């Protein structure tokens, strides 16, 4: 019999990759999506276009993290074996602009999901995954290695980081208080061609390719000196699955163990297009945060030893695949504009 899973945040970057991978493993996948006046399932549409679609089972449900009665009833109805909570207000800069909304969604939402899992757990074993974030560390790191691991103290420096820390500790609290199989993956920055265009990595590759084709003049960014440990999103969602297959629930740092500045990302992205980023990137204080996390550098030793998880895509390969994808997108945009002008 096929396992059943429930993915909250199914239409996001991570959610779409995770749904895709779980379907390939034979799961019946249920996803939670928010009601919108426009379709927001673009990252999942390709699933319905592949052959043998009748064998694929992806069921999407409208809902909201803050609507506990509906969420609770939904879990009791579909009775998932695994629950992945990837839903959140996940943009750090936006969390400074809308702190109340960010805190509400990312804290009350987690409690609602945990309560629903707890209620269902009286009937069957439910494995729960909570998406935690490297932003919880702030600027804390090991004095010996300069890296962040599961034992590194937390010191979040944004409303987003604070809200994710609440969800992280509540997951552990529900595990200890109620015996839930509840785990956290502390994921460092990860990206790919499905990344939202307001996030810095995709903002860079999208702008660079548009500038190359004359569709855009400048790219406005904030702090170019911030260092991030960037990995490839599909590999990180595979780690999520491995975490729930362990004999006991634990926390794991998921990271590449390699760190690069935003400036380096710009240099690589523009360089692949034979452009000098200095000619096009403009520093704009609008994008500076009130408090910055300067250096994220993850130590995933535990994940490598216990999960057998090893990142395969290098930083250079990651930037190149994003540039390749966004260049195709920019070419389509240019063709559309050109054809529109000729009519």
User: What digits encode the pLDDT tens for the residues 16-66?
Assistant: 999 999 999 999 999 998 765 455 665 666 665 554 545 558 888 999 999
CA dist 16 to 10, 58, 139, 154, Å?
6, 11, 30, 29
Homologous superfamily assigned to 200-226+259-296+315-342: UDP-galactose 4-epimerase, domain 1 (3.90.25.10)
CATH code that applies to domain 4-192+231-254: 3.40.50.720
Look at residue 104 and tell me whether its pLDDT is greater than 70: yes
Better-predicted residue by pLDDT, 117 or 59? 117
pTM for this one?
0.92
Half-sphere exposure in the Cβ direction for 294 (13 Å, CA):
4
Express as a percent the part of the chain with pLDDT over 90.
87
More confident residue, 58 or 224: 224
Interhelix angle for 200-212 vs 315-342, to 10°?
Answer: 50
Q: Tell me the pLDDT of the chain averaged across its residues.
A: 93
Least Cα distance to 202 among 213, 214, 190 occurs for 190
Phi, psi of 185 (to 5 degrees): -105, 115
| pLDDT, position 189 | 97
Tens digit of pLDDT for each residue in 185-195? 999 999 999 99
Does the pLDDT at position 296 exceed 60? yes
Position 248 pLDDT exceeds 70 = yes
pLDDT the model gives residue 334:
94
Where are the domain boundaries for CATH 3.90.25.10 in the chain? Answer: 200-226+259-296+315-342
Mean pLDDT of the 147-154 span:
98
Q: Of 152 and 343, which is predicted with more confidence? A: 152
Other C-beta atoms lying within 10 Å of the C-beta of residue 314: 14
CA angle 179, 184, 186 (to 5 degrees): 160
Selecting among 133, 134, 158, 163, the annotated active-site residue is 133
- Average of pLDDT values for 278-294? 94
Q: H/E/C letters for each residue in 82-97?
A: EEEECCCCCCHHHHHH
Examine the residue annotation and report whether 135 is marked as an active-site residue of this protein: yes
Average pLDDT, stretch 273-291? Answer: 95
* Helical (H) or strand (E) element with 228: strand 227-228
Helices (H), the chain: 13-24, 68-78, 92-97, 99-103, 109-120, 159-178, 200-212, 233-244, 262-272, 301-302, 315-342
Tokens describing residue 73: 């009833």
Q: Contact, 173 vs 191, CB < 8 A?
A: no
Identify the active-site residue in 17, 27, 160, 277: 160
On whether the CB atoms of residues 324 and 209 are closer than 8 A, the answer is no
Show Cβ contacts of residue 331 under 8 Å, excluding neighbours closer than 6 positions. 213
Contact between residue 91 and residue 199 where contact means Cβ atoms under 8 Å apart: yes
pLDDT average, residue stretch 151-166: 97
Give the model's pLDDT for residue 343.
42
What is the per-residue pLDDT for 34? 76
- Give pLDDT, residue 338: 86
Task: Tell me where in the chain the CATH 3.40.50.720 domain(s) lie.
Answer: 4-192+231-254
- The helix (H) or strand (E) run that includes residue 184 is strand 181-187
Q: Is the pLDDT of residue 273 over 70?
A: yes
Please answer whether residues 54 and 20 qualify as being in contact, where contact means their C-beta atoms are separated by less than 8 angstroms. Answer: no
What is the rounded CA–CA span in Å between residue 280 and residue 218? 5
pLDDT attached to residue 148: 98
pLDDT at residue 251, as a whole number: 98
What is the pLDDT averaged over residues 169-173? 98
Model confidence at 288: pLDDT above 70: yes
Whole-number Cα distances in Å, 295 to 82, 135, 137, 179, 226: 33, 10, 10, 35, 6
CB 296 within 8 A of CB 259: yes
Catalytic residue among 20, 82, 135, 267: 135
Active site residue 160: yes
Q: What is the DSSP letter of 48?
A: G
């Amino acid at each position: 019999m096929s396992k059943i899973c429930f993915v909250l945040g199914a239409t996001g970057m991570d959610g779409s990759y995770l749904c895709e991978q779980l379907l390939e493993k034979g799961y019946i996948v249920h996803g939670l999506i928010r009601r919108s006046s426009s379709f927001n399932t673009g990252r999942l549409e390709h699933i319905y276009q592949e052959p043998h679609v009748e064998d694929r089972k992806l069921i999407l449900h409208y809902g909201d993290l803050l609507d506990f009665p509906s969420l609770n009833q939904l879990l009791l109805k579909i009775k998932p074996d695994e629950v992945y909570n990837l839903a959140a207000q996940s943009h750090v800069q936006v969390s400074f602009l809308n702190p109340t909304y960010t805190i509400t969604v990312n804290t009350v939402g987690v409690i609602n999901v945990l309560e629903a899992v707890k209620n269902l757990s009286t009937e069957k074993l439910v494995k729960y995954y909570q998406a935690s974030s490297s932003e919880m560390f702030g600027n804390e790191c090991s004095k010996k290695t300069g890296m962040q691991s599961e034992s590194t103290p937390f010191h979040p420096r944004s409303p987003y980081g604070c809200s994710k820390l609440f969800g992280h500790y509540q997951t552990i609290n529900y595990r200890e208080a109620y015996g839930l199989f509840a785990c956290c993956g502390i994921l460092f920055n990860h990206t790919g061609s499905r990344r939202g265009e307001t996030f810095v990595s995709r903002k860079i590759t999208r702008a660079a390719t548009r500038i190359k084709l004359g569709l855009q003049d400048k790219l406005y960014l904030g702090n170019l000196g911030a260092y991030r440990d960037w990995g490839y999103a599909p590999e990180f969602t595979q780690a999520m699955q491995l975490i729930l297959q362990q004999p006991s629930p634990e926390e794991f740092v998921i990271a590449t163990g390699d760190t690069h500045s935003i400036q380096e990302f710009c240099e690589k992205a523009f360089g692949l297009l034979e452009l000098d980023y200095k000619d096009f990137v403009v520093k704009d204080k609008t994008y500076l945060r009130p408090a910055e996390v300067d250096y994220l550098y993850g130590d995933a030793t535990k994940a490598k030893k216990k999960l057998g998880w090893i990142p395969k895509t290098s930083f250079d390969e990651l930037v190149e695949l994003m540039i390749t994808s966004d260049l195709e997108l920019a070419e389509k945009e240019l063709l559309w504009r050109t054809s529109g002008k000729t009519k």
